[in-house]
Structure 1
Amino acid sequence: MASVLGNLENMVVLGVVIGLFVFLRGLIRNYDGSSLRKSWPLVGMMLPLLFQLHRFHEWCTEMLEANNRNVLFRGPWSSNMNGLLTGDPSNIHYIMTSNFSNFPQGRDFKEFFDVLGDGIFNSDSDMWKTQRKLAHQLMSHPLFHKLVVKSTHEKVEKGLIPVLEHVWEQGLVVDLQDLFQRFTFDATCLTVIGHDPGCLSISFPEVVFCRAVDDAQKAIFYRHVLPQAIWKLQKWLNVGQEKILKRSTETSDRIISEIISAKKEKVCKTMGNNTGLEDDNGQGIDLIASYIMEDAIVMGCKSSDDKFLRDTVLSLLVAGRETTSSALSWFFWLVSRNPHVEKKIIDELRATLQHDPDQADHTGKCRLLNVEVLKRLPYLHGAICESLRLYPPLPFNHKSPLKTDRLPSGHHVIPKMKIYISVYSIGRMSSIWGSDCLEFKPERWITVGGGIKHQPSHKFFAFGAGPRSCLGKNIAFLQVKAVAAAIIYNYKVQLVAGQTITPSISINLHMKHGMKVKLFKRSAS
């Protein structure tokens, strides 16, 4: 009898969800978009959200700018989507730093990002502290830093430059975003798993893993904007974006399983002669080999446990590839549209090399800057920060409080209530950055004395803030500077006319249609 009643209850819920979905579709067809914030019966603010989905981040910015940086969002009836949309730096500092313990990732976050398992981005409490401590210990090791510098330089020299030379010599049009995704995937694989998959080559091979990750990210984004009942129904029925997510997860899991198996076998053969991060040549080894060799205890299991390694590999590969490639893509789009910024970057590069010509490497007819030069380029650093302000790779975040709390903005928040942080909007509001907030001005990051001007992380949120701030920040800056300097110093990047550059609907801020460019060799003078 109980099972019959349970099935009947499930059928009723299913009928309500389907009816709500049909109702929403009917409303959308007749909605003129005249009100950004109007809350409708039964569906709340879901209607304007779906209507504005194609420009989701701009819509959030407009609402926040018009409502003192905070907007209470009403979801459909019984959808558990009610929450607070905020772009308020004081709220962000409170949530991410001063009262961090009351705002963990939470069950909802882990459910949205279940594909990442129990990796560092999903974990909380003691599990997160243990993973964070271990990751920080390994990533801050001098030998790992040496490996990052070496692999980045070699990937620019032997991967990026040959492809750029081929594109220039043949007069080809190239998708620069695709090029950067290939570069960052190869570079991340080298530091995480110690293997170069060779995605960055003139043959432009298909990258199955990357396509699977892109599909998964799009599906996860839709989980954030659809009522939970709808996407869970799709998951149960194995249809729509949830079907795509399942297929992409199976693909990435298969590839990662092969990587882990090969890595374990290799490490087991060499562990008798090595300890810690050092390899036979003293060059340092990759992170996953380090986890296995250190045999660290995580989640009550050894780090050589396959599930832990799977979750760690996927989290690190996604974080390294997605964020850095996004940063490079938007940086070059902004620079190409602001020739005065490009000229200042070139002048800085030439002046630096003129004073110290030995601090450069020659690759054929191209010149590469080594890490010491990259540290002495404040204007380039400022231009990268400015690009990250306008186009943060991770455009939004969300939290839920453990206990009832009151934010600095005066809003009361309760357990299970979602707090949506619009990272994209924070960098685009005049109330935070001034009336010129939409201008690309690297100068806002330069001090009177010519140094780098610091901005608090709750205002410049591209790398997060507080205890969960990005561990790979320095690696990201090194890679972006190395690629940016190599390209700008040697080539003129020209956007192909007629294309539309717009953010994709995804949890990472990619360009929806890529970025087609042509390259022209720059004179040495």
Structure 2
Amino acid sequence: MAILENHHYYILLLILLPLLVYFCRLADRRQKKPLEPTNWLLLGFLPEVFLNFHRAHDRITEVLNGCGGGTYMFRGPWLSNTDMLFTSDPTNIHHVFSRNFANYPKGPEFRKIFDILGDGIFGADFHLWEIHRKTTMALLTHANFNARLQKTVWEKVETGLFPLLDRFSLDELDFDLQDVFLRFSFDNICKIVLDYDPCSLSFEVPHIPCEKAFSVVAEPLLYRHVIPQRIWKLLRWLNVGSERKLLECSKAFSEFIYPRIAAATNDGSVLGVFEDVYRETKMDSSTSLRDFLKDTALNLMFAGRDTTSTCLTWLFWLVAQNPASERKILEELEAELGLQKKWRSFNAEDSHRLVYLHAALCESLRLFPPVALEHKAPVRPDILPSGHQLPRNAKLIISFYSVGRNERVWGKDCLEFKPERWICPSGKIKHEPSYKFPAFNAGPRTCVGKDMALVQMKMVAAAILYNYHVRLVEGHPVSTRDSIILQAKDGLKVKLRKRNWKD
């Protein structure tokens, strides 16, 4: 009898609950700004996430610019521990990455999300990070390394890139230029780090699981930022969904790198230097030398493949839509390199004279930073310059993508491709602080390979632009991927026409 009486309460609850949700949503709408997401009862912003995940970075930018003055608190579902403070405010970035750097290590939460990186430089903190950074800087500044890098790049241009592009041009074929850049960068970084050329850039366009895994892994890592940890750990245990993809990627990385470690540790090689450092510093014995070298190689390969290929993809997309910029680049190549209607390679010193091309690359990086966002967590409670309070281990997400699209930072024309904004009246490159232009990160963690990457990108961009006219395939959609790495979602389909400078 009591059960029959209680069922009336359940019916009443079922009637009142939708009304309660409705009135909560109505009250939220009255208080929020037009672009502000709805904070649903119990669910927080989770419906907003699902509705906008296909354009996550643009939606984050809309909210930060339109509602939060550059900083906004994302509310996750009740008891999910997924509340996150998003920011694109340069004063907050400067505070976190420089002024209060010691309070914002990568931390255990970052290590959990990016466990695939192991003990490499991207996930390392404190003493281990200092070892990685010091060793990497010593390698990159060594004269022999720079000479080897230039030799590797130009050999791949001559033996891999030009023959492939010539065929596409001759046969008038549509092709994915982003895939070409990804393969080019993968071959280069493998040669530099592992002293091995997988020859992924060839007519046969072979399927190499490790090369493909770099692109696949970025999307599941973004999911881990918004899915409660208990959920993605359950998915990993069940070996399903995005976590299954991560496990497959980890296997592909291991199967590719481990067999090549021994051959890549000869005297003076990249991994050889890290092996010496491991032995000399008597690192934590819980990490074997073999695993340390594998993690080191993987992190360096991430840096060398994704940064350059992503930037070059967006550069060509932007230049193809701005013929005036293309003309200025070509005029500069002739004037500064003395090409005189005939192509020739050039060195790092020559590349410093290519001011307009450098500016165009910076503009591409401003609008499409290869790493779209970064996760930070304070060791101690902190108050940001914007006035937002962060308790210990709070989740702070810095949107690098949004910084470049913030009118308060870059002006009303922030969405326009204008390389000229990077050139001083004197004709030199205008320096912008890293907290305003964080494409290479900021503060002590600024990318040590920044200069190397810019030189390499100038070489590749100049080689293609001077020898071919690149035209976008009409009707092909171009948008950003929903991932940590800001690649083009459906690639960059183009057609080529070989330039005939003799005419």
For normalisation by structure 2, the TM-score amounts to 0.89
CA 1:302 to 1:403, structure 2 compared with 1: closer, same or farther past 3 Å? closer
Q: CA deviation at 1:254?
A: 1.4
Q: How does 1:29-428 map to 2 (within 5 A)?
A: 36-66=36-66, 67-264=68-265, 267=266, 277=268, 286-293=269-276, 295-297=279-281, 299-301=283-285, 305-354=289-338, 366-428=343-405
Matched, 1:496 2:473: yes
For residue 455 of structure 2, what is the amino acid of its counterpart? L
Q: CA deviation at 1:81?
A: 1.1
The worse-fitting range, judged by mean Cα deviation, of 299-308 and 337-346 is 299-308
Q: CA deviation at 1:301?
A: 4.8
For residue 244 of structure 2, what is the amino acid of its counterpart? K
The worse-fitting range, judged by mean Cα deviation, of 461-470 and 189-198 is 189-198
CA 1:128 to 1:522, structure 2 compared with 1: closer, same or farther past 3 Å? same
2:186–2:301 contact (8 Å) kept in structure 1: yes
How many pairs were matched up? 468
The worse-fitting range, judged by mean Cα deviation, of 218-227 and 432-441 is 218-227
| Counterpart Cα distance in 2 of 1:106 and 1:424 | 23
Q: CA deviation at 1:187?
A: 0.8
| Counterpart Cα distance in 2 of 1:346 and 1:405 | 50
Q: CA deviation at 1:80?
A: 1.4
1:155–1:183 contact (8 Å) kept in structure 2: yes
CA 1:302 to 1:75, structure 2 compared with 1: closer, same or farther past 3 Å? closer
Structure 2 residue runs of 5 or longer lacking an equivalent are: 1-28
Partner residue, 1:19: none
1:94–1:407 contact (8 Å) kept in structure 2: yes
Q: CA deviation at 1:507?
A: 1.1
| Counterpart Cα distance in 2 of 1:454 and 1:409 | 25
For residue 58 of structure 2, what is the amino acid of its counterpart? E
Partner residue, 1:18: none
SS for the counterpart of 2:345 is strand
SS for the counterpart of 2:261 is helix
Q: CA deviation at 1:207?
A: 2.0
Q: CA deviation at 1:456?
A: 0.5
For residue 95 of structure 1, what is the amino acid of its counterpart? V
1:367–1:489 contact (8 Å) kept in structure 2: no
1:86–1:420 contact (8 Å) kept in structure 2: yes
The worse-fitting range, judged by mean Cα deviation, of 192-201 and 212-221 is 212-221
1:369–1:486 contact (8 Å) kept in structure 2: no
| Counterpart Cα distance in 2 of 1:469 and 1:204 | 34
The worse-fitting range, judged by mean Cα deviation, of 479-488 and 129-138 is 129-138
2:219–2:483 contact (8 Å) kept in structure 1: yes
| Counterpart Cα distance in 2 of 1:147 and 1:82 | 46
Q: CA deviation at 1:296?
A: 4.1
| Counterpart Cα distance in 1 of 2:390 and 2:160 | 50
Partner residue, 1:20: none
2:72–2:86 contact (8 Å) kept in structure 1: yes
Q: How does 1:411-490 map to 2 (within 5 A)?
A: 411-490=388-467
For residue 476 of structure 1, what is the amino acid of its counterpart? A
Partner residue, 2:11: none
1:393–1:509 contact (8 Å) kept in structure 2: yes
| Counterpart Cα distance in 1 of 2:219 and 2:321 | 28
CA 1:475 to 1:147, structure 2 compared with 1: closer, same or farther past 3 Å? same
| Counterpart Cα distance in 2 of 1:218 and 1:298 | 36
RMSD: 1.9
For residue 104 of structure 1, what is the amino acid of its counterpart? P
1:85–1:420 contact (8 Å) kept in structure 2: yes
Deviations 1:165-196 (A, max 9, x none): 12112222221000000110011111111111
For residue 178 of structure 1, what is the amino acid of its counterpart? D
2:380–2:393 contact (8 Å) kept in structure 1: no
1:35–1:48 contact (8 Å) kept in structure 2: no
1:193–1:289 contact (8 Å) kept in structure 2: no
| Counterpart Cα distance in 1 of 2:89 and 2:180 | 35
Deviations 1:436-471 (A, max 9, x none): 000000000000011100001000000011111101
SS for the counterpart of 1:368 is coil
The worse-fitting range, judged by mean Cα deviation, of 385-394 and 248-257 is 248-257
1:291–1:304 contact (8 Å) kept in structure 2: no
The worse-fitting range, judged by mean Cα deviation, of 153-162 and 468-477 is 153-162
2:80–2:228 contact (8 Å) kept in structure 1: yes
| Counterpart Cα distance in 2 of 1:297 and 1:58 | 45
Q: CA deviation at 1:405?
A: 0.9
| Counterpart Cα distance in 2 of 1:98 and 1:473 | 21
Q: CA deviation at 1:495?
A: 0.7
SS for the counterpart of 1:517 is strand
For residue 325 of structure 2, what is the amino acid of its counterpart? V
2:187–2:201 contact (8 Å) kept in structure 1: yes
1:119–1:308 contact (8 Å) kept in structure 2: yes
Deviations 1:40-74 (A, max 9, x none): 11111121122111111111111111121010111
| Counterpart Cα distance in 2 of 1:308 and 1:99 | 29
1:322–1:508 contact (8 Å) kept in structure 2: yes
2:35–2:63 contact (8 Å) kept in structure 1: no
Deviations 1:22-43 (A, max 9, x none): xxxxxxxxxx9x8642111111
| Counterpart Cα distance in 1 of 2:422 and 2:295 | 36
| Counterpart Cα distance in 2 of 1:296 and 1:48 | 51
2:85–2:395 contact (8 Å) kept in structure 1: yes
The worse-fitting range, judged by mean Cα deviation, of 500-509 and 139-148 is 139-148
For residue 186 of structure 2, what is the amino acid of its counterpart? F
CA 1:195 to 1:302, structure 2 compared with 1: closer, same or farther past 3 Å? farther
2:261–2:294 contact (8 Å) kept in structure 1: yes
For residue 413 of structure 1, what is the amino acid of its counterpart? L
Q: CA deviation at 1:289?
A: 2.6
SS for the counterpart of 1:52 is helix
Structure 1 residue runs of 5 or longer lacking an equivalent are: 1-31, 268-273, 278-285
| Counterpart Cα distance in 2 of 1:117 and 1:55 | 29
Partner residue, 1:9: none
1:127–1:298 contact (8 Å) kept in structure 2: no
